[in-house]
Structures are given as structure tokens and as C-alpha cells.
Amino acid sequence: MALAAFFMLTLGLVLGFLWTLQEMIGKGKWAYFIFFLAGYLPIYITFLSLTYLTTRSEELVTLFQATKEVVVAIALVVALLFQKNPTDYPFRPQGTDWWMGGFLILGFGYLVLPIGEVPFLTKAFYFKGILLPGLTYFLGRNTRFEDGEVYRLFSMIFGVAVLAFLVNLIEQFVLQAHLQQHTGYSLYNLVINNIDPSGNFGLTWTFETQAVTKRLASFFSDPLELASSVLLGFAAGLIWFLTSKREEGFPYILVMLCSMGSLFFSSSRAAFGAFFIMLFFIAVIFRLYRLILFAFSLVTAFVIFVVFFASEDFYYFVIDTLTFQNASSVGHVLEWITALESMIENPLGVGLAMSGNSGSVTDEARIGGENQFLIYGVQMGFLGMFLYIIILGLSISHSIKVFRGTDNVMTARIAFTAAAVKTGLLLPLFTANAELYAYVNWITWWMVGYAMNEYSKINHGKA
């Protein structure tokens, strides 16, 4: 079964890669790289796990790992080559561009300067994780899609949300086990990432609650990535529902329900909180007052369930979480304190790959790691952290302005989704190295860039 799945996914990857190259190089449609990412990133770790399980080839895993970077790099090169006169390039930088560029330049400085205790190659691998989302932003910043092309991207996002929930149902009721227990996830982590299996299910502790119940991840890398990624599906489904005729709204309702279902299967407290924050944000900013009532009703229903109907274990699990007495919550606080102490002692930072949970950060060098803001603060100092915060703030506020100011419905949908998801991800950013979730982050950074293209036109009449 694993072998058949591997061959099917490999065939899909190869065909998708060749089609993307044909469109980018043969037709000059370099912006089509985003379609490849939208299809590949959700299954990225599952595919790599199956690859190693069936072939035992680290070289093949490395090849497939590099595919996403290769596609982005080709898109960048083709985008530059297809400018007939580079001196007449229409791009005019605006605020968010400067801040994003400054953040990437700062990261590059910490790469080349002799700062930190880790080798240069380790820092380079970590910097790649900072650079690529920035590149997707700038590529999105220069993308101009027709309505049909935007519809194609959103269709892929809807498909991912629905398929993720269907896989959750299979995990829960057919396999009665995590999908990752059948894909070689633990073997991949052990050999490729040097991470020993842990937890009661032989995966990692992330795949279970303290009550030793399963937290499902569908085909994503872990339950936390699934929980963050379904925010994208829900926000996209919501804006399409709100901007479509009511008789055409059922598919978008289905997407939202599937996204909520996956959220429950993931059992992520931060993502639950993020979901409600996103609902209230959307309702207030975009004047959807019925949504406030809906969100308030969900919160009330959850409180009633916990107080009157939940098991005693679940009741105390919620109470301990809210009072930071839960072991996981205490762990977050300890990581934050460690990171803050490091920032106070080293306000200019201690160097790349010295904090966080990415594969290039070793336990020996790691300082803190469960707060994206503090991770950047530890590595690149207060300046790096503040730059990241400013970029997020401008991304959200400017996307809101685009949503309200543009006459193009498709652009408004992209701006809405970008603003809503970036806001929803603020809470997970406080409890995880959430920029590692490539699917939701790369796609939304591209959306922010796309929205900023329209923002320049609204503000200055320039691209």
C-alpha cells in the first residue's frame, strides 16, 4: 500500500513539476510557481516519509526536498529574464517592501558575519527558511492574475481543506491510527532529521494530548501544522461564500465545515484560540456583525460543554491550560523566559540557527524555541524581532485597506484571506515556530505580496 501511494504521489509530483516548468519557461508564466507550491507543500513531509520508507534513499529524499526551492528559484530567474527592459521595470517599492527587504538583508548579515556557535552551512540552511517566504512575497508582489487563475488557486486551497478532513475521517474511523504510523514518518525523522520516536504512538509527543488521545495531522507534518493550515481554508471559504450568490454558497459552506472538523481533530489549543480570534477580527474589521454573534455562540457553547458535560479530565485540562498549570503551557512559559533572558543578555542576537525547532537547530545550541517572535529576537536581536512585528502589522493593515478599496473582487478575496489568516496565526506564533508551516505561510505571504501590488495602485497609482 505504501509503495502504491509512493508511486502515485511521485507521478503526480513529476507531472506537476513538468507542467509548472512548461508554463514558467515555455510560456513565461513564472507566477504559476504558486500552483505547484499549493499542491506540493501540504503533502511535503508525508511524501518525503513515503519516499524514504519505500526506497531507503537519502539522495532521493534530498532531491524531492529541493524541488520546492528549485521551483521558486526558476520563477525568480524567469521573472527577471522576461523583463524586456529591466531599467523600465514597473515595480515601485512601498512601505512593506522596504521592511521585508530590510528583514531579509538583516538575516543575510547574520549569515555572513561570524556570529553564533553553529557552522556556516547550518546557518545557511536556516537562512533559507527566512529567505524563501520573503521571495514568495516579492514574487506575489509582482503577480497579475486573471480571474480564472485566481479561481484556480482558491480551488486548490478548497481541495486541500476538504481532502485533509476526509483523511482525518479515515484516520479516526477506518485506520483508527495516525496516517503517519503507516507512512514511515518516524523512520524519516530518525534517519533524516535525527529525531528519535517519542510518545505513546511512536511518533512525537505532538501527536497526542496529555490524556493520551490522538491528535490527528491528516497528510500534514504534524497536528499543529494542520491546525494552522485549516485557518487558510476557512478564511478562503468564508470570503467566497460572502461574495457569491447564496444559491452558489454550498461548496464554500462545505469547505468551512471541513476546516472546522480538521481543527477539532487536531486538538490544538492555540489553533482553537486563533480560530475565534480570526472570527472576531473578521467580524469587526469587515463589519460582519452576524459573525460576532456566531463566534460568541460557539464560545458560549464550548463553555457550557466544559462546565456541564465534559469529562473531569477534560474539564481540568481546560482549567489548567487557562491558568498555565498545564505541563505544555508551563513548558511554553519556560521557553519564553529562557529566550527573554538571552535577548536581555544579547540585545543584538546570538546568531542564526540558535533558537527554534527547525531541522537545522540542534538541541545543544538551541535557546528557547516556542515563540516565533522571540525566536527571531534571540537570533537577530530586538531589531530582528521588531522588524518581523512591523512586517506582520503592515501586512494585515494594508491588506484590509486593499479589501476595502479595490474594485476587483478576486483581489479583494485574496486581500481578505491574507489579512484574516495572518491575524489568526498571531496566537500560534506565540506558542510555536509557526513560520515553519510552509503551506499556510508561503501561500499567505504570496497573498500579502499580491495585495500590496493593488495597495500601491490605490495609494500611488503605481504597481
**In this predicted model, what pLDDT tens digit does every residue of 28-52 receive, in sequence order?**
999 999 999 999 999 999 999 999 9
In a domain, 240, yes or no: no
In a domain, 41, yes or no: no
Whether 355 contacts 366, CB under 8 Å = yes
Helix 33-40, helix 120-141: angle, nearest 10: 120
pLDDT tens for 317-335 read: 666 565 555 556 666 788 8
Query: Which among 409, 416, 411, 347 has a CA at the least distance from the CA of 383?
Result: 347
Neighbours of 161 (CB within 10 A): 28
CB-count exposure of residue 308 (10 Å: 0-12, 13-18, 19+): exposed
The SS3 call for residue 298 is helix
CA 348 to chain centre: 27
Choose between 457 and 454: higher pLDDT: 454
The confidence score (pLDDT) of residue 268 equals 81
pLDDT band at 241 (very low <50, low <70, confident <90, very high): very high
Average pLDDT for 2-18 = 92
In b/e form, how buried is each residue of 321-351, taking b as 16+ CB within 10 angstroms? beeeebebbeebeebbebbeebbeebeebbb
The grid coordinates of residue 6 equal 509512493
Residue 267 has pLDDT above 90, yes or no: no
In a domain, 454, yes or no: yes
Neighbours of 276 (CB within 10 A): 16
Average pLDDT for 93-103 = 90
The confidence score (pLDDT) of residue 303 equals 77
CA distances from 354 to 127, 327, 334, 363 (A): 12, 24, 17, 9
Please report, rounded to a whole number, the percentage of residues in the chain having pLDDT higher than 90: 64
80 vs 96: CA distance, rounded Å = 21
In a domain, 413, yes or no: yes
The confidence score (pLDDT) of residue 456 equals 82
pLDDT band at 85 (very low <50, low <70, confident <90, very high): low
In a domain, 38, yes or no: no
pTM assigned to the model: 0.92
Average pLDDT for 100-113 = 96
Could you write out the three-class secondary structure of 131-197? HHHHHHHHHHHCCCCCHHHHHHHHHHHHHHHHHHHHHHHHHHHHHCCCHHHCCCHHHHHHHHCCCCC
433 vs 126: CA distance, rounded Å = 13
The confidence score (pLDDT) of residue 443 equals 97
Query: Which among 323, 318, 156, 161 has a CA at the least distance from the CA of 228?
Result: 161
In a domain, 245, yes or no: no
Residue 89 has pLDDT above 70, yes or no: no
The confidence score (pLDDT) of residue 294 equals 72
The confidence score (pLDDT) of residue 370 equals 80
Residue 88 has pLDDT above 70, yes or no: no
pLDDT band at 2 (very low <50, low <70, confident <90, very high): confident
48 vs 391: CA distance, rounded Å = 32
The confidence score (pLDDT) of residue 280 equals 81
Domain count, the chain: 1
In a domain, 284, yes or no: no
Residue 350 has pLDDT above 90, yes or no: yes
In a domain, 138, yes or no: yes
Choose between 447 and 302: higher pLDDT: 447
Q: What range defines the domain where residue 408 resides?
A: 107-142+324-463
